[in-house]
Amino acid sequence: MTTPLSDKLRTGWKRAVQTARLSCGVPDYDVYVQHLRTHHPEREVPSYEAFFRERQAARYKGGGGRCC
């Protein structure tokens, strides 16, 4: 019933990486790939590098900004 500690650690680490990336404006790549596969199977799946570049440019396109 209880999940082994190693699984918990793995999920925790994944969440931490996800938070760190999101704080820098890069959403989860695996989630995006999953989304494309289910909803837009006709579209080409970009490589992580291409995905990263696109998100990096999108973050600073104006709007929002950050706090003082």
Q: What are phi and psi of 37, to 5 degrees?
A: -60, -40
Minimum CB separation of residue 30 from another protein in Å reads 10
Positions in the binding site for another protein (CB under 8 A): 15, 17-28, 31-32, 34-36, 39, 48-49, 51-53, 55-68
Minimum CB separation of residue 44 from another protein in Å reads 14
Minimum CB separation of residue 52 from another protein in Å reads 3
DSSP category for residue 49:
H
- 8 A C-beta contact, residue 28 and residue 52: no
